[in-house]
Amino acid sequence: MHGRLPGTRIGFVGLGSMGGPLAGRLLYRNQVFGTNRTRSKANALIDKGLVWRDTPREVAAAADVVFSMVADDAALAAVTSGPDGILAGLRPGALYIEMSTVSPGASRELSMRVCLAGATMVDAPVSGGILAAETGTLAIMVGGTEAGYRAAEALLLRLGRTVTHVGGNGQGLLLDLAINISTAAQMAAFHEGVMLAARGGIDPTVTARAMTEFANGPARAKSGLPPALDLSRQAGCDVARIHKGIRLALETAHASGQQVPVTAAVERALDRVRESGYAHRDIAGLYRGAART
């Protein structure tokens, strides 16, 4: 399976804000079959050559490599299970690349079912927002066998700047959750600091630039100034998506008996941001959350 590119038939289930751009990048060199809960969201891709199929099963049956990118554990179960699910159409020898941010446990359970069907699955969650998906500059963490990783690597390198094999099934997701904790905690603290200075009369942009000049300044803020404080721009990775990742991290940590007080505090901060009406704004919404404390 290593290096399958031209001539490979690709299936893509989940053509939303992240899955759509990824499927679009794959269309440049491959025939792509796809489906989505709402067909209208796929119209632009269909115009570019995507072959629409009505069910995940039909997508899987038509493809050598199947991708999925859906919202959560429940959505993943919906597109993989039942008579119209991916598993019902997945062919022996096929490769399944599951890119959703879901729980590691759900991914591991699914990988076992894929194996029983005679196919191979890797989990390949991404770090980065919509712009990174459109430009192929995502960071992608892969969990699965070495053979599965090698089979997926060439295609994933068309979607991401870095593709890293981190371990067995579910461990790509585990690393993704760890990164989410670190990024969200740094950005929450960054915005709280900016707000503290603002209440003392210092221009927020001046504070933000000064804070990010230090070597330990948060990388996400460094790459986003001045937009790190700009709520008017379109969200590349909105607060709701970040919040979902933090909740998953909390659930995963608690299931293993680990206490994560910083993560819990960040989750409460994100709750306040969502209550303020900024769920679908960029991470700059944390600045408004800090203003409510």
- Cα–Cα distance, 33 to 64 (Å, whole number): 11
Listed residue (97, 107, 47) closest to 69, CA to CA: 97
Question: Which pair of structure tokens corresponds to residue 103?
Answer: 């729980």
pLDDT of residue 15: 98
Residues 15-28, mean pLDDT to the nearest whole number? 96
pLDDT value, residue 71: 93
Tokens of 233: 């721009």
Q: How far apart are CA 161 and CA 170, in angstroms?
A: 21
Q: How confident is the model at residue 160 (pLDDT cuts 50, 70, 90)?
A: very high
pLDDT band (50, 70, 90) for residue 159:
very high
Contacts of 61 (CB under 8 A, 6+ apart): 89, 90, 91
DSSP string, 150-180: HHHHHHHTTTEEEEEEEESTTHHHHHHHHHH
In the prediction, which pLDDT does 190 show? 85
Q: Identify whether the C-beta of residue 105 lies closer than 8 Å to the C-beta of residue 256.
A: no
Express each pLDDT in 97-128 by its tens digit. Answer: 999 999 999 999 999 999 999 999 999 999 98
Looking at the predicted structure, is the pLDDT value of residue 52 above 80?
yes
Q: pLDDT digits over 202-242, tens only?
A: 998 888 888 887 646 666 555 554 445 655 555 556 788 88
Residue 89 has pLDDT above 80, yes or no: yes
Pair 80, 224: CB distance under 8 Å: no
Which DSSP letter does residue 85 get? S
Measured CA to CA, the distance from residue 149 to residue 110 in angstroms comes to 17
pLDDT above 70 as % of the chain? 86
- The answer, yes or no, to whether residue 150 has pLDDT greater than 50, is yes
- Quote the pLDDT of residue 100: 97
Q: What are the structural domains, with CATH classification, of the chain?
A: 10-169 (3.40.50.720), 174-291 (1.10.1040.10)
- How buried is 112 (Cβ within 10 angstroms: 0-12 exposed, 13-18 middle, 19+ buried)? exposed
Which of 172, 181, 163 is closest to 220 using CA atoms?
A: 181
* pTM as predicted: 0.89
- Distance in angstroms (rounded) separating the CA atoms of residues 255 and 267: 17
Q: What is the mean pLDDT of residues 186-198?
A: 86
Q: What is the pLDDT averaged over residues 247-260?
A: 95
Higher local confidence (pLDDT), 209 or 67: 67
Query: What's the pLDDT score for residue 154?
Result: 96
